[in-house]
Amino acid sequence: MRKRSLGFLTPFAALLWTDAAFADEARVHVIAGAAHAVGGTQEHEFGSGGGGAATVELAIGNVAGIQASGGAVVLAAGGSPQDATVAKQSTGAAFVGTVGVRFRPFGGRSVGGLWFDANGGFAQTGPSPHVAVDAHVGWDFRVSRAGRWDVGPFVGFTQIMQPDATFRPDDAHILWAGIQVSLGASEKRRAEPPPKQESPEPLVRDLDGVAQVEDVCPAAPEDGAIPEGCPGANAELVGDKIVLDDVIHFEFNSPRIRSRSFPLVRKIASVIKEHPAILEVSIEGHADARGTEAYNQRLSEERAASTRALLVSFGVEDERLRAVGFGKSHLKVATPLAEARNRRVEFTVTRTANDTASAPPRHPSSSPKVAAGKRSQP
């Protein structure tokens, strides 16, 4: 019995030995449920039973992991064999140890949901071990966002090979159904926005007889509002264009708008709101010449969509905004280098209350992809 117990600990020891190679935290799963033999003589000669298993998993990313399991199943005695020369079976038991892989198809978006695994190893059903394989499929529900506990149903199948061909060489087929309780993945927490900083009161100094007031104009207000008297970015409507005195600045290789550009976007929102005759504005994202066509196209679409979302948060009706991306197809400065002036977002009024039809496309030779929003019907 001692050798048998040590044998079933081997998969766990091997898995824990490799723990240093994986950055993600270990996960533990415990299953318990009802079981029944299916097919062959064992379906008749054994009754219903139950069992359980414990699994240690080392995750590889969000959707896969390697694991080691150990468990047991016990089946009650069933009916008498059809062959009168064979003695009736007593209670059946098997101790199973396996290693395998687990997959979570939705792991990139959620800590719970569908999972399935496949494993191989050995089962002890008598004096000799037998090769065993099993597989399970289930669905986890996160108990609380404050912890890592998951619970959910599963079904499984275990097959134990019977190499002894002299007497009943049939494999054992066992069907499982029950509940799994897991210490699963940590909830992916979103970064909290930086706290809003209040503008300090002006500090008057009069140490030398000359009154001086320190500058209290914020360099990058989080809400885009510039205190009265402070210089700010400017945007104005010129023909069918909203002309800016600066570009909208984004994080490196990201659609996230830098806070220094919030005042400029708020000014653009004010221009649109001050002209109710404007029914639709095209927000056009552009990239520089570096990088692949596909990458620059996607980034320009995402930056246009991010600008549209910020304008909506500043009070512009979403149906008046349409975001498109041109990638690097319309460079402002013809150069293969990472020219900053090419990384821009432009604004074109495409429909007004005085139009009888939608304005023609700005770039007839291109077919920009819509990044967000929907175009209003004329």
149 Cβ neighbours under 8 A, 6+ residues apart: 142, 143, 181, 182, 183, 184
251 Cβ neighbours under 8 A, 6+ residues apart: 257, 258
Domains in the chain, CATH or no CATH each: 2-81+89-183 (2.40.160.20), 229-372 (3.30.1330.60)
Q: What is the structure's pLDDT at 377? A: 37
Q: What is the structure's pLDDT at 216? A: 46
Query: What proportion of the chain, given as a percentage, has pLDDT over 70?
Result: 71
Residue 350: pLDDT band with limits 50, 70, 90: very high
Residue 305: pLDDT band with limits 50, 70, 90: very high
Phi/psi of residue 138, each to 5°? -160, -175
Q: Is 316 left (phi over 0), alpha (psi -120 to 50) or beta?
A: beta
Residue 106: pLDDT band with limits 50, 70, 90: confident
| pLDDT score of 1 more than 70 | no
Closest CA to 345 of 260, 276, 257: 257
How far is 258 from 219, CA to CA, in rounded Å? 12
Structure tokens at 338: 């990472």
For the residues 134-155, what does the mean pLDDT come to? 92
| pLDDT score of 322 more than 70 | yes
Structure tokens at 107: 């792991």
For the full predicted model, state whether its pTM sits above 0.75. Answer: no
CA 137 remoteness from chain centre:
21
Which segments of 221-276 are extended strands (E)? 235-238, 241-244
DSSP per-residue letters across 298-345: HHHHHHHHHHHHHHHHTT--GGGEEEEE-TTSS-SS--SS--GGGSEE
| pLDDT score of 214 more than 50 | no
| pLDDT score of 138 more than 90 | yes
For residue 62, the surrounding DSSP H or E stretch is none
How far is 256 from 361, CA to CA, in rounded Å? 27
